[in-house]
């Protein structure tokens, strides 16, 4: 064998090694992206779980949430107004996190739709909260650009 042939074989082997390395890196990036998406979905679900745990374990909040089922709900005290605004901020924060995660491709479309549906469900289940949600949203006008908030603003 001459040196030219040996060199050609070396170049072919080098090209194969580069292709194998690129394929490996591609699979690693894909796996990392799947893990990151899964992590974001888990974090969002944990935030929801924390919110519902608050309602289930705090009698005052549970009482307030029960009264929010009345579409003619009126705030009875400054303390209750603070509690209601806090609930609104928690939900708006959850929904904003969802909107941001969706816009950055961190959650799938079907997961995003579940959270969008949740906005509709909360507003229909707790109609007394709609006015406070709108009031709170006016304090943060840039948040209104997210699709997930449209049911609140209409």
Total count of domains within the chain: 1
Q: Helix or strand or coil: residue 15?
A: helix
User: Looking at the domain assignment, is residue 9 inside a domain?
Assistant: no
Residue 50: HSE in the Cβ half-sphere, 13 Å Cα cutoff: 11
Residue 144 clears pLDDT 80, i.e. is over it: no
Question: Quick check: is 135 in a domain?
Answer: yes
What is the pTM assigned to this prediction? Answer: 0.75
Look up residue 70 and give its two tokens: 């009345």
**What integer pLDDT is reported at residue 78 of this predicted model?**
93
d(CA 144, CA 140): 8
In terms of C-beta density within 10 A (0-12 exposed, 13-18 middle, 19 or more buried), how is residue 119 classed?
buried
Range of the domain at 99: 41-153
Question: Does residue 21 form part of some domain?
Answer: no
Please choose, from the candidates 36, 46, 61, the residue with its C-alpha nearest in 3D space to the C-alpha of residue 126.
61
Please determine, for residue 154, whether its predicted confidence score (pLDDT) is greater than 80. no
Does residue 33 form part of some domain? no
- Does residue 51 sit within a domain? yes
> DSSP letters of 25-49?
HHHHHHHHHHHHHHHHHHHHHHHHH
Residue 1 lies in a domain: no
pLDDT tops 70 at residue 16: yes
Q: What is the pLDDT of residue 2?
A: 83
Q: Is 22 part of a structural domain of the chain?
A: no
Judged against a pLDDT cut of 80, whether residue 145 lies above it is answered with: no
Residue 125 counted as domain residue? yes
Which of 100, 105, 63, 101 has the alpha carbon at shortest distance from 84?
Answer: 63
Q: What pLDDT shows up at residue 65? A: 92
Q: Which residue has the higher pLDDT, 144 or 72?
A: 72
pLDDT at 1: 67
The mean of the pLDDT values for the chain is 87
């Amino acid at each position: 064998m001459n040196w030219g042939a040996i060199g050609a074989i070396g170049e072919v082997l080098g090209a194969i090694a580069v292709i194998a390395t690129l394929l490996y890196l591609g699979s690693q990036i894909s796996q990392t992206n799947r893990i990151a998406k899964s992590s974001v979905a888990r974090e969002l679900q944990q935030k929801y779980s924390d919110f519902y745990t608050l309602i289930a374990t705090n009698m005052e909040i549970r009482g307030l949430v029960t009264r929010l089922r009345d579409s003619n709900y009126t705030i009875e005290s400054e303390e209750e107004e603070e509690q209601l605004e806090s609930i609104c901020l928690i939900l708006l924060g959850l929904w904003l996190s969802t909107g941001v995660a969706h816009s950055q491709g961190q959650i799938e479309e079907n997961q995003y739709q579940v959270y969008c549906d949740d906005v509709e469900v909360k507003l229909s289940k707790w109609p007394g909260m709609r006015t406070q949600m709108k009031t709170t949203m006016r304090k943060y006008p840039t948040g209104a650009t997210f699709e997930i908030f449209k049911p609140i603003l209409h």
